[in-house]
Chain A
């Protein structure tokens, strides 16, 4: 089958998946008990008439199938609706949060992947040595620590001893020069980044190590060594290149999911990202925001898997596109 047809089939499969997930999300939010305006109404002095007006304004008084059609039509046109809570367009809210999350999580992903690979490779190469045992143990410990607790400890240490800023993404006033803004952002990012990296690296280390150990048992490794290839080449060109495939799977999965934000880290450091957005929207039953956010996460996960699918044949010629 030509690679174009393969490609096209993949894209169509993607779109169908997105559609199914959207529909399922829509249904899921509607069957939850309670209505966002009941909550507003009960919690304070919103009159029955105002509640009715709100329902009409947001189209909640129409039958479900009608709301569904309207939802599909709007989403296809890029109109993600208006937040119940803030009356701002959902697309604006989600894109604001998404950018913030991407900044933090892509940096965290890159650092933890690189660190995970390096440490995993070293641990596999020196399996059984004190270095390996201590590194693996440390990674496991860090991986199992509750993110919230780790973040609080780092926050405390960072603020008291290093005078780092307590929260947020940027300083409130200050130089508007691009470079000092960058430094400012980096300073705000150090603590949440460290929290995330310490938590994420563990899984990469473990997967890398076990994949590499697996590869070491292969015959071609013995052959290569017998041919006199140096240790460094053996390790990286022969061992690592073959062990990277399971890592790729893990990386693509994580990258896709990380678009959903790191809710615990974002809460502690008041980082205005997707995690916080989703959390507040859940508390307020803000369906449009939730639908918009979930749409983005869905697309991100599907896209990340798709990219992994595309990259696999490049990494491993044995995987041919059918």
Chain B
């Protein structure tokens, strides 16, 4: 029993600390699951560091940002002017400082872009150099960037994704990709602590942020490897916000709790059904016929799929640009209506008659027997593949749904060894449609192994010309018109059947924090996170410490205990009792049977 007393004294004498509940400073804790938190060094990014990119985006600033509606807004560059179609002058803010106090100047911009131009091993950021050819500082606060040809996505895709690094620190770094020093940026939050891969990051507000200090004092970004654990953390108040999205099964539990608000926004990505129509590929040759593809599209109902696979939490697409991209989407293009009779008639007209086994055969003997593959990373789409197979069976097309390991499927795609599959295109920050329309260029389709991005094998010189035109059109309205036209062409030829854009459902403790901005994109996402952080603030009248159980001692004012002493006492008593019982049983002397 003395052991118990000693244990109790020890526990009562020191506070049990759980994720921050400070009395003074306001802390906003964001929970995250899915892509891991690997590093805070932007030069070390690979494609999978989703969470890391979001955090780095609030430590560092780019020249321009994309806000929650996908619009480009000034950041380190306050204004800019096009001297001609390939030269842009950026007038930088004068009062930005690095987190270590040094002033920000044009030299930092020049240094950063030069670094990326000359170091291809910084592979992720290197992509965003794009057509940039040279960068010069005209004076301390003016930078001139020249591109090799007119580039419409210089600001909206390239510069928004390049964090500006401090020259005075990085000039001394030997190996950029393995640099582990504390990140120093100009952003609204300063780096405090990184707990290691897959754990958490602690940031504190930058009082000198040139666009104004955020309303919260401390930002904690915590990684959870399980959505269930994250939901529990939100419910019990250990985190204030949770993202990037919750699976359907958990949503009903969350929404039933009064103090949790669900925030449902479209992600800058979409799911598509790809037909392998490449002439030099190994897919079913029938898919090279546009009328076959359109017929099959009439036999897919994306509304039904959104219901069945996502419980309604996905918005069916009409074009090959995600709905989250707002005005870039051509609203006049309508999806082919779901009509099995039309589909069957079109297949008949194309020469594919139903054979004796119920499967259509073409004049050249090609059977309409197809495989519908789904990558293992998106295994929930298997349900969609099954639905589609069911519809197609009714029109005489034998389809086999199959889940394939994602990496294997990537290999099949590159080698054109597939019939159809469902996959996803996504872009790092909203606001530029380039990635989505670039995959249909003829230049992106080459015989196996294909180094380009095309998986439809689409080849159309008219489309190619329009692509080049829009890529060089710096006037947004004119560019939009061209992109709308391109979507119409894609609809007419149907290399893909665009399926849906899923909603990312995030959640906030509405009794603790308010100020989530309305907009198109999810609040916690690579581009839009800073918009959330600039606006979010604690609900007035609620102090964070009132949410936790009071301490039994007055040890410290910094943190309040989150474990109730009653709980710990209960555990200790149970363990001690169990040990005592077992010990008594074992040592008791009894002339009992000996288990012979």
Which A residues contact B (CB, under 8 angstroms)?
A: 32-36, 38-51, 53-54, 57, 82, 84-89, 93, 96, 118-119, 121-122, 124-129, 131-132, 152, 155-156, 159-175, 177, 179-180, 183-184, 187, 190, 212-213, 216-217, 230-232, 266-270, 272, 276-277, 280, 283-285
Per the bound structure, the CA–CA distance linking A284 and B38 in Å amounts to 13
Per the bound structure, the CA–CA distance linking A194 and B19 in Å amounts to 21
Is B587 in the interface zone, CB < 8 Å from A? yes
Interchain nearest-CB distance for A58 vs B (Å): 10
B39: which of A88, A168, A187, A276 is its contact (CB, 8 Å)?
Answer: A88
Tell me whether A163 and B562 are in contact (CB under 8 A): yes
Per the bound structure, the CA–CA distance linking A179 and B9 in Å amounts to 13
Is B478 in the interface zone, CB < 8 Å from A? no
Interchain nearest-CB distance for B227 vs A (Å): 10
Question: Chain B contacts of A96 at CB under 8 A?
Answer: 196-197
Question: Chain B contacts of A232 at CB under 8 A?
Answer: 587, 589
Tell me whether A171 and B17 are in contact (CB under 8 A): yes
Tell me whether B585 and A268 are in contact (CB under 8 A): no
A53: which of B22, B120, B414 is its contact (CB, 8 Å)?
Answer: B120
Question: Chain B contacts of A160 at CB under 8 A?
Answer: 232, 235-236
Tell me whether A162 and B44 are in contact (CB under 8 A): no
Tell me whether A183 and B20 are in contact (CB under 8 A): no
Per the bound structure, the CA–CA distance linking A166 and B33 in Å amounts to 13
Interchain nearest-CB distance for B214 vs A (Å): 18
New contact pairs (15) apart from A172-B19, A268-B228, CB-CB < 8 Å: A32-B407, A33-B407, A34-B411, A45-B435, A46-B47, A46-B127, A88-B197, A122-B586, A126-B585, A126-B592, A165-B238, A173-B22, A174-B17, A180-B15, A269-B229
A161-B567, A268-B229 as given contacts; A183 in contact with B238, CB under 8 Å: no
B19: which of A33, A152, A171, A212 is its contact (CB, 8 Å)?
Answer: A171
Q: Restricting to B299-345, which residues have a CB under 8 Å from any CB of A? A: none
Interchain nearest-CB distance for A207 vs B (Å): 16
Question: Chain B contacts of A126 at CB under 8 A?
Answer: 585, 592-593, 595
Is B580 in the interface zone, CB < 8 Å from A? no
B198: which of A127, A132, A280 is its contact (CB, 8 Å)?
Answer: A280
Closest 3 CB pairs of A and B: A127-B595, A34-B407, A174-B17
Tell me whether A38 and B411 are in contact (CB under 8 A): yes
Question: Chain B contacts of A171 at CB under 8 A?
Answer: 17-20
Tell me whether A270 and B229 are in contact (CB under 8 A): yes
Question: Chain B contacts of A177 at CB under 8 A?
Answer: 14
Is B225 in the interface zone, CB < 8 Å from A? yes
A38-B411, A175-B559, A276-B198 as given contacts; A87 in contact with B44, CB under 8 Å: yes
Question: Chain B contacts of A42 at CB under 8 A?
Answer: 410, 413-414
Which B residues contact A (CB, under 8 angstroms)?
A: 10-11, 14-20, 22, 29, 36, 38-39, 41, 44, 46-49, 120-121, 123-124, 126-127, 177-178, 180, 193, 195-200, 202, 218, 220, 222-226, 228-230, 232-233, 235-236, 238, 377, 405-408, 410-411, 413-414, 426-428, 435, 451-453, 549, 556, 558-559, 562-564, 567-568, 570-571, 582, 585-587, 589-596
Question: Chain B contacts of A156 at CB under 8 A?
Answer: 232
Tell me whether A168 and B48 are in contact (CB under 8 A): no
> Can you give 9 A-B contacts (C-beta < 8 A)?
A35-B407, A36-B407, A57-B121, A87-B41, A159-B233, A160-B235, A162-B567, A171-B18, A172-B195
Per the bound structure, the CA–CA distance linking A81 and B223 in Å amounts to 26
> Looking across the interface, which residue of chain B has its beta carbon closest to that of A235?
B586
> Looking across the interface, which residue of chain A has its beta carbon closest to that of B10?
A183
Tell me whether B564 and A167 are in contact (CB under 8 A): no
Question: Chain A contacts of B199 at CB under 8 A?
Answer: 168-169, 272
Question: Chain A contacts of B20 at CB under 8 A?
Answer: 171-174
> Looking across the interface, which residue of chain B has its beta carbon closest to that of A209?
B595
Interchain nearest-CB distance for A308 vs B (Å): 26
A38: which of B377, B414, B594 is its contact (CB, 8 Å)?
Answer: B414
Tell me whether B236 and A166 are in contact (CB under 8 A): yes
Tell me whether B411 and A131 are in contact (CB under 8 A): no
Tell me whether A40 and B48 are in contact (CB under 8 A): yes
A87-B44, A272-B197 as given contacts; A39 in contact with B594, CB under 8 Å: no
Question: Chain A contacts of B47 at CB under 8 A?
Answer: 40, 43-44, 46
A34-B411, A162-B571, A280-B198 as given contacts; A86 in contact with B595, CB under 8 Å: no
Interchain nearest-CB distance for B201 vs A (Å): 9
Per the bound structure, the CA–CA distance linking A45 and B126 in Å amounts to 11
Per the bound structure, the CA–CA distance linking A39 and B18 in Å amounts to 38
Tell me whether A50 and B120 are in contact (CB under 8 A): yes
Question: Chain B contacts of A213 at CB under 8 A?
Answer: 595
Question: Chain A contacts of B556 at CB under 8 A?
Answer: 175
Tell me whether A267 and B226 are in contact (CB under 8 A): yes
Task: Classify the secondary structure of A's interface with B.
Answer: helix
Tell me whether A41 and B177 are in contact (CB under 8 A): no
> Looking across the interface, which residue of chain A has its beta carbon closest to that of B592?
A126
B127: which of A50, A124, A169, A173 is its contact (CB, 8 Å)?
Answer: A50
> Looking across the interface, which residue of chain A has its beta carbon closest to that of B446?
A48
Tell me whether A122 and B582 are in contact (CB under 8 A): yes
Question: Chain B contacts of A159 at CB under 8 A?
Answer: 232-233, 236, 238
Per the bound structure, the CA–CA distance linking A57 and B254 in Å amounts to 46
A163-B549, A187-B563 as given contacts; A168 in contact with B222, CB under 8 Å: yes
A183: which of B16, B229, B236, B594 is its contact (CB, 8 Å)?
Answer: B16
Question: Chain B contacts of A132 at CB under 8 A?
Answer: 595
Tell me whether B17 and A87 are in contact (CB under 8 A): no
Tell me whether A47 and B127 are in contact (CB under 8 A): yes
Per the bound structure, the CA–CA distance linking A190 and B233 in Å amounts to 16
A89-B178, A165-B18 as given contacts; A34 in contact with B410, CB under 8 Å: yes
Question: Chain B contacts of A45 at CB under 8 A?
Answer: 127, 427, 435, 453
Tell me whether A163 and B407 are in contact (CB under 8 A): no
A42-B410, A163-B567 as given contacts; A270 in contact with B226, CB under 8 Å: yes
Interchain nearest-CB distance for B577 vs A (Å): 14
Question: Chain A contacts of B587 at CB under 8 A?
Answer: 232
B407: which of A38, A121, A166 is its contact (CB, 8 Å)?
Answer: A38
Per the bound structure, the CA–CA distance linking A276 and B36 in Å amounts to 11
A128-B595, A267-B225 as given contacts; A86 in contact with B127, CB under 8 Å: no
B563: which of A36, A47, A162 is its contact (CB, 8 Å)?
Answer: A162
Interchain nearest-CB distance for B83 vs A (Å): 28
Per the bound structure, the CA–CA distance linking A317 and B250 in Å amounts to 59
Per the bound structure, the CA–CA distance linking A270 and B582 in Å amounts to 33
Tell me whether A217 and B226 are in contact (CB under 8 A): no
Interchain nearest-CB distance for B404 vs A (Å): 10
Question: Chain B contacts of A162 at CB under 8 A?
Answer: 563-564, 567-568, 570-571
Interchain nearest-CB distance for A34 vs B (Å): 3
> Looking across the interface, which residue of chain A has its beta carbon closest to that of B218?
A173
> Looking across the interface, which residue of chain A has its beta carbon closest to that of B179?
A87
Per the bound structure, the CA–CA distance linking A31 and B509 in Å amounts to 48
Tell me whether B593 and A128 are in contact (CB under 8 A): yes
Question: Chain A contacts of B16 at CB under 8 A?
Answer: 183-184, 187
Question: Chain A contacts of B127 at CB under 8 A?
Answer: 45-47, 50
Question: Chain A contacts of B180 at CB under 8 A?
Answer: 88
> Looking across the interface, which residue of chain A has its beta carbon closest to that of B178?
A87
A166-B233, A171-B19 as given contacts; A190 in contact with B571, CB under 8 Å: yes
Per the bound structure, the CA–CA distance linking A34 and B377 in Å amounts to 15
Question: Chain A contacts of B198 at CB under 8 A?
Answer: 270, 272, 276-277, 280
> Looking across the interface, which residue of chain A has its beta carbon closest to that of B407?
A34
Question: Chain A contacts of B232 at CB under 8 A?
Answer: 155-156, 159-160, 166
Per the bound structure, the CA–CA distance linking A197 and B125 in Å amounts to 46
Question: Chain A contacts of B413 at CB under 8 A?
Answer: 42
A163-B562, A179-B14, A270-B229 as given contacts; A87 in contact with B411, CB under 8 Å: no
Tell me whether B123 and A39 are in contact (CB under 8 A): no
> Looking across the interface, which residue of chain B has its beta carbon closest to that of A44?
B47
Per the bound structure, the CA–CA distance linking A230 and B594 in Å amounts to 12
B589: which of A88, A174, A230 is its contact (CB, 8 Å)?
Answer: A230
Per the bound structure, the CA–CA distance linking A100 and B359 in Å amounts to 57
